[in-house]
Amino acid sequence: MKVASGLVIAIDGTSGSGKSTLAKLTATSLSLAYLDTGAMYRCVGLKALEEALDLTDHDKLIEMARGLEIQVGDRVSVDGVDVTSEIRTPQVSQAASVVATVAGVREEMVSRQRSWIEANGPCVVEGRDIGSVVWPDAQLKVFLDASSEVRAKRRADQLGTHQEITGDELRARDLRDQGRRTSPLEKTADSVVIDTSQMALEDTLKRVITYLKERQLIELDQDQPDDESIDQPTQSTLTSLEGKRAKVEYRPPTKGSLVFFSVCRAIAVTICRIYCRVSVEGRKNLPESGPYIIAPVHRSYVDWIVLGLLTRRRIRFMAKDTLWSSRFIGWLLGALGTFPVHRASADRSALTMCVSILKEGEPCVLFPEGQRMTGPNVARVFDGASYVAAKAQVPIVPVGIGGSERVMQKGKILPRPYKVHIIVGTPIAPPANGKTGKVSRKAVKESSLVVQDSIQKLFDRAQRKVGL
Ligand code: DC
């Protein structure tokens, strides 16, 4: 894909209109840099609270803001201290909204934002005044809005709070953002306005991509068709499921294997409950019977075990085939119903195995990120889970697991006794197949975006729940 040099996409809009999700997805989809300017005001708000500053003392606020060293990226830090989760509390949201009305604070932040854009090249910048003040020359200005009911619901879902509380708070913030004298929230005449009240995220992203293509700001590669039916997964579809070509065949569970699984599960779950004080939220979202795909975020080997807390049923996993090099581990994994996947080349048999498992009525886990990742951001998800869901026509249950990376990071052997919180999200319907019954690549891609958005939100909430 080619991108116009110096491309700046400004995404402004009201709170809860979906700006952040859209901006992040646009940046990831097009491999552009991304700046969340709201996080900068949040840092100032947080510091003002920490230093117990009088929020009406503008001189003090401006002086403090000028002296802060703020880093906004995958993680957010102020004066070298990581504040990624601290800046997302309702108290900081309030304070940020207040400090953002102070002209001197805004001047300081706007000047830093301009320097960031100059230094980072093609980018997506998200905020309230990007198209109007920070970068009026942005080649694409998007203004997002949604009804206050929808916005309040989205915020409540994000925060895990009751809708009315966040609705009131949100309306107050809107009024402050629109009413301030310096750079109020406003749509510029050259913005494209998108009302996301009734729009799915993937449709909003498609609109943005269409605007970019129409304005010749991006040029997609020939091998990125917009719409095409696929019967067999392609290399890119399978990247997360790359694997061994050795045949893995479905065998119905025997009584003995089910008992063995139950005993191992009971032992592992008991240890986890005590050691990591694992809590589960939203368990009712898991279908009581029938097949489904569990699609969790993946930060640690511990994820495999804690997922056993979701259901007493046997859930099937894939594991990298190198684990089978130890006879004992290979036997144990096989006895538990786990099957191998190779990670160096496309492995269709592993995918076919997933489809068979689901068609036989068993639930199966597919980590959409493909492997263990690190950090608070969900990596670009691969299409494997959505492809398999389409093939077997089963729902995908998104799951956020907070705190497992702190328990056992990549490269560590011993788990540490930190808390883990799991949130089970609302099931996502399988992608619709084409008229001929073939899997539609377009529907699979769209479904992957929904999965990505959903597990990121659940992960954020779960991490906050364990104080991260
Ligand atoms: O987008 P957000 O909710 O993280 O933003 C936090 C606060 O900062 C919010 O009250 C709006 C304000 N803000 C602003 O005034 N200008 C920006 N460019 C970004 C955010």
- Output the CA 380–ligand 1 centroid distance in Å: 26
Distance, CA of 154 to CA of 199 (rounded, Å): 13
For ligand 1, atom 9, which residue shows the shortest CA distance? 97
151, two tokens: 């916005």
Mutate to test the pocket of ligand 1, among 19, 20, 37 (most ligand atoms within 8 A of CB): 37
For ligand 1, atom 2, which residue shows the shortest CA distance? 38
Mutate to test the pocket of ligand 1, among 128, 135, 158, 460 (most ligand atoms within 8 A of CB): 128
Which residue among 237, 267, 297 closes a domain? 237
Q: Quick one: DSSP state of residue 429?
A: P
- Output the CA 176–ligand 1 centroid distance in Å: 10
pLDDT of residue 166: 65
Distance, CA of 24 to CA of 27 (rounded, Å): 5
The residues of the chain scoring below 50 in pLDDT are: 223-246, 344-346
CATH number where 209 lies: 3.40.50.300
Please check whether residues 165 and 18 belong to one and the same domain. Answer: yes
Atom of ligand 1 nearest to the CA of 39: 4
Please check whether residues 232 and 259 belong to one and the same domain. Answer: no
**Structural domains of the chain, count:** 2
Distance, CA of 416 to CA of 275 (rounded, Å): 8
Please check whether residues 298 and 350 belong to one and the same domain. Answer: yes
- Output the CA 127–ligand 1 centroid distance in Å: 6
Mutate to test the pocket of ligand 1, among 12, 19, 21, 97 (most ligand atoms within 8 A of CB): 97
Q: Are 328 and 430 in contact (CB under 8 A)?
A: no
323, two tokens: 């684990």
Distance, CA of 201 to CA of 211 (rounded, Å): 16
Distance, CA of 448 to CA of 202 (rounded, Å): 9
Please check whether residues 220 and 261 belong to one and the same domain. Answer: no
- CB of residue 97 inside a 6 A radius of ligand 1: yes
Please check whether residues 334 and 206 belong to one and the same domain. Answer: no
Three-state SS for 432? coil
Distance, CA of 159 to CA of 70 (rounded, Å): 24
- CB of residue 96 inside a 6 A radius of ligand 1: yes
Range of the domain at 406: 255-465
pLDDT of residue 133: 94
Distance, CA of 308 to CA of 294 (rounded, Å): 11
Q: Are 400 and 422 in contact (CB under 8 A)?
A: yes
Three-state SS for 34? strand
For the chain, helix, strand, coil in percent to 5 are: 45, 15, 40
Please check whether residues 294 and 385 belong to one and the same domain. Answer: yes
For ligand 1, atom 6, which residue shows the shortest CA distance? 38
Domain membership of residue 88 (yes or no) is yes
Please check whether residues 287 and 213 belong to one and the same domain. Answer: no
- Output the CA 98–ligand 1 centroid distance in Å: 10
For ligand 1, atom 18, which residue shows the shortest CA distance? 127
Burial of 124 (C-beta count, 10 Å sphere; 0-12/13-18/19+):
buried
Please check whether residues 293 and 191 belong to one and the same domain. Answer: no
Burial of 195 (C-beta count, 10 Å sphere; 0-12/13-18/19+):
middle
Please check whether residues 275 and 206 belong to one and the same domain. Answer: no
Domain membership of residue 9 (yes or no) is yes
Please check whether residues 228 and 377 belong to one and the same domain. Answer: no
CATH number where 345 lies: 3.40.1130.10
For ligand 1, atom 8, which residue shows the shortest CA distance? 38
Domain membership of residue 212 (yes or no) is yes
Domain membership of residue 244 (yes or no) is no
The closest alpha carbon to 175, from 94, 91, 103, 108, belongs to 94
- CB of residue 128 inside a 6 A radius of ligand 1: yes
Distance, CA of 235 to CA of 246 (rounded, Å): 17
Please check whether residues 159 and 263 belong to one and the same domain. Answer: no
Three-state SS for 254? coil
- Output the CA 322–ligand 1 centroid distance in Å: 47
Domain membership of residue 243 (yes or no) is no
Q: How many CB atoms lie within 10 A of CB 111?
A: 12
pLDDT of residue 231: 38
Distance, CA of 75 to CA of 376 (rounded, Å): 8
pLDDT of residue 236: 37
Atom of ligand 1 nearest to the CA of 109: 18
Domain membership of residue 264 (yes or no) is yes
The string of DSSP letters for 306-367 reads HGGGS-SS--B-EEEGGGGGSHHHHHHHHHTT-EEE-SSS--HHHHHHHHHHHHTT--EE--
- Output the CA 206–ligand 1 centroid distance in Å: 25
The runs of H, that is alpha helices, within 68-132 are 90-99, 103-120
- CB of residue 37 inside a 6 A radius of ligand 1: yes
- Output the CA 212–ligand 1 centroid distance in Å: 25
- CB of residue 100 inside a 6 A radius of ligand 1: yes
Give, for 64, the enclosing helix (H) or strand (E): helix 58-67
- CB of residue 15 inside a 6 A radius of ligand 1: yes
Domain membership of residue 354 (yes or no) is yes
Torsion of CA 194, 200, 203, 208, to 10 degrees: 40
Q: Are 388 and 366 in contact (CB under 8 A)?
A: yes
- Output the CA 435–ligand 1 centroid distance in Å: 45
Alpha carbon of residue 272 to chain centroid: 25
CA distance readout (Å), 412 to 6, 97, 299, 367, 407 = 42, 41, 12, 20, 9
Please check whether residues 322 and 426 belong to one and the same domain. Answer: yes
What is the phi/psi pair of residue 33, to 5°?
-70, 160
Atom of ligand 1 nearest to the CA of 134: 18
Three-state SS for 188? coil
- Output the CA 12–ligand 1 centroid distance in Å: 10
- CB of residue 38 inside a 6 A radius of ligand 1: yes
Domain membership of residue 59 (yes or no) is yes
For ligand 1, atom 13, which residue shows the shortest CA distance? 38
Q: How many residues does the chain have?
A: 468
pLDDT of residue 223: 45
CA distance readout (Å), 448 to 51, 202, 307, 367, 388 = 43, 9, 21, 12, 11
